[in-house]
């Protein structure tokens, strides 16, 4: 009997355009599909609650098309056990870029060598490997715009790989029950509403991409900052779990652009630049692996943050008294995602209005976002905080009222997620504390009772943030 190949699934939960699976299937014999729930190796960065919900649903979907072996534990030890139990001749897997992944992959390689099996690592989670895009001096990029230009100059991504022909291993291997992993919440079932907004899995990813190209892409460049419009791709969780590859997204958008006779030039370029922001985030993470925990600009290590547990709790629960911020936090709680523009507004409020460390917000997003991503999360929070690579200046402080009035002009987004404010007139929906008492009463709004007073005065909070900036030596 020919020895099987072991395909170690990671954040590549798809059959299409999968180099590791293609190579495993091309070898003679059968393929063992192994997924390891490793809560040990990432330490404090074990999957958050929303990600665990998504993972359960994604594995459930994948199990309908591939025979999965599920194990729990340190990935290198589990792989060593499966090699011994199965006699597999080779291990194939997709590269990961988290700070702990390089060392883990080396331990997997050592386990393979000890078992007499070959070890093969492949790309596919990114368009380009982080080592390949360098500036003119051969150094990694620190600024997004020249990085994105270099990526465009590198040419179109590689051709896509079709679903390979494979057969599952007919031998016997012990497998955990997915339900036994406890990935889904029990009581209270805070994820119940998420199912109405998402279809995790490869088929759901393909459908989402198709819908975006048909209905959202045309308006993407002009309206992507409008939370009251449904034009964003919402592909981020599918990309994070590898249910679709960035190359698939890229080629699909290019094909739509070609079919439209170039009419989508502006929209396509804007979307592809967002794909490249994801690439840039991983470029940074690879070259600066402390990105999720320490400021990229070390002078920010001395910034005088405030200890404000009440403020943090109000922000987490969407009870700050600033409607656009609260609407975003409520959307996050219900759907596991937040509109991209509102993420920036909410993050700026936490960091600059409340002077709460960006790491606290990063951790909350890690637990509550279905697209929680170690690189994009860290890079984006540091961008807003002003301490990251290619960061927005710290003195750029979003005014939550003006941002709401600019991007949610009629208050449609706020009214959707804050029904207690639904009857307020447009002129007050983003600033309810300024509404006359009779207007509040007619709208059924009781400040301090069914909607909070603002936790801070934004103008004063802005001055305080700028004063704190001045106190910190070396920040300009």
Which among 40, 60, 223, 274 is annotated as catalytic?
274
Has 333 been annotated as catalytic?
no
Which among 45, 100, 181, 277 is annotated as catalytic?
277
Label residue 412 exposed, middle or buried (CB < 10 Å: 0-12, 13-18, 19+). Answer: middle
- Residues paired with residue 173 on neighbouring β-strands, in sequence order: none
Query: For residue 256, what are its two tokens?
Result: 């739509």
Whose tokens are 């029990």? That residue is 186
Contacts with 126 (C-beta within 8 Å, 6 or more apart), sequence order: 97, 246, 278, 279, 282
In angstroms, the CA 78 to CA 35 distance is: 10
| Secondary structure class of 411 (helix, strand, coil) | coil
Has 305 been annotated as catalytic?
yes
Which among 169, 250, 358, 364 is annotated as catalytic?
358
In angstroms, the CA 155 to CA 18 distance is: 20
From residue 351, alpha-carbon distances to 312, 324, 338, 407, 425 in Å are 10, 16, 17, 21, 30
Has 169 been annotated as catalytic?
no
The residue length of the chain stands at 476
Has 381 been annotated as catalytic?
yes
Name the nearest CA neighbour of 375 among 121, 101, 156: 101
DSSP 8-state assignment for residue 149 = H
In angstroms, the CA 382 to CA 295 distance is: 7
The alpha helices in 193-264, defined as continuous H runs, are 202-211, 217-223, 236-240, 246-259
Query: For residue 307, what are its two tokens?
Result: 């200890």
Which among 60, 190, 223, 340 is annotated as catalytic?
340
From residue 329, alpha-carbon distances to 3, 160, 378, 432 in Å are 51, 37, 18, 18
Label residue 17 exposed, middle or buried (CB < 10 Å: 0-12, 13-18, 19+). Answer: buried
DSSP 8-state assignment for residue 242 = T
Bin 199: left if φ > 0, else alpha if -120 < ψ < 50, else beta. Answer: beta
Label residue 423 exposed, middle or buried (CB < 10 Å: 0-12, 13-18, 19+). Answer: middle
Other residues' Cβ atoms within 10 Å of the Cβ of residue 165: 8
For residues 427 and 405, the answer to whether their CB atoms sit within 8 Å is: no
Whose tokens are 């291993």? That residue is 169
Which among 53, 169, 288, 381 is annotated as catalytic?
381
Contacts with 283 (C-beta within 8 Å, 6 or more apart), sequence order: 130, 133, 140, 141, 147
Has 417 been annotated as catalytic?
no
Which among 305, 399, 420, 433 is annotated as catalytic?
305
Has 274 been annotated as catalytic?
yes
Whose tokens are 């199990």? That residue is 63
Give, rounded to a whole angstrom, the gap between the first and last alpha carbons of the chain: 67
Task: List active site positions.
Answer: 274, 277, 305, 340, 358, 381
């Amino acid at each position: 009997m020919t020895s099987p190949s072991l395909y170690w699934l990671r954040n590549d939960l798809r059959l299409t355009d999968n180099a590791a699976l293609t190579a495993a299937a091309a070898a003679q014999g059968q393929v063992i599909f192994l997924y390891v729930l490793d809560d040990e190796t990432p330490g404090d960065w074990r999957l958050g609650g929303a990600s665990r919900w998504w993972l359960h649903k994604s594995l459930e979907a994948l199990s309908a098309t591939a025979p999965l072996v599920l194990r729990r534990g340190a990935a290198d030890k589990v792989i060593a056990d499966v090699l011994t139990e199965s006699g597999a001749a080779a291990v194939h897997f997709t590269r990961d870029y988290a700070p702990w992944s390089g060392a883990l992959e080396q331990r997997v390689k050592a386990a393979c060598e000890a078992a007499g099996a070959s070890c093969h690592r492949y790309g596919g989670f990114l368009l380009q490997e982080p080592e390949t895009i360098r500036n003119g001096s051969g150094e990694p990029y620190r600024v997004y715009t020249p990085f994105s230009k270099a990526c465009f100059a590198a040419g179109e991504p590689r051709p896509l790989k079709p679903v390979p022909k494979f057969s599952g291993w007919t031998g016997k291997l012990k497998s955990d029950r997915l339900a036994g992993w406890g990935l889904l919440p029990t009581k209270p079932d805070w994820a119940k509403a998420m199912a109405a907004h998402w279809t995790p899995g490869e088929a759901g990813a393909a459908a989402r991409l198709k819908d975006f190209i048909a209905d959202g892409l045309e308006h993407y460049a002009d309206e992507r900052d409008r939370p009251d419009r449904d034009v964003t791709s919402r592909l981020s969780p599918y990309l994070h779990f590898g249910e679709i590859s960035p190359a698939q997204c890229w080629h699909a958008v290019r094909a739509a652009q070609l079919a439209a006779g170039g009419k989508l030039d502006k929209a396509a370029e804007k979307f592809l630049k967002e794909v490249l922001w994801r690439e840039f985030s991983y470029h940074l993470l690879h070259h600066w692996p402390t990105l999720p925990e320490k400021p990229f600009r070390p002078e920010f290590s001395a910034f005088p943050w405030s200890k404000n547990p009440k403020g943090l709790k109000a922000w987490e629960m969407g009870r700050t008294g600033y409607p656009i911020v609260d609407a975003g936090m409520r959307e996050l709680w219900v759907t596991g995602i937040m509109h991209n523009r509102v993420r920036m507004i909410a993050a700026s409020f936490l960091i600059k209005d409340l002077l709460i460390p960006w790491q606290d917000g990063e951790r909350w997003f890690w637990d509550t976002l279905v697209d929680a991503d170690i690189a994009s999360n860290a890079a984006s929070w540091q961008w807003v905080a002003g301490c990251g690579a290619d960061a927005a200046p710290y003195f750029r402080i979003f005014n939550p009222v003006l941002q709401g009035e600019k991007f949610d002009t009629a208050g449609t987004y706020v009214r959707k997620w804050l029904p207690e404010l639904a009857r307020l007139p447009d002129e007050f929906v983003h600033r309810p504390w300024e509404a006359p008492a009779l207007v509040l009463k007619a709208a059924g709004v009781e400040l301090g009772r069914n909607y909070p007073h603002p936790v801070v005065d934004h103008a004063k909070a802005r001055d305080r943030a700028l004063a704190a900036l001045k106190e910190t030596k070396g920040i300009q």
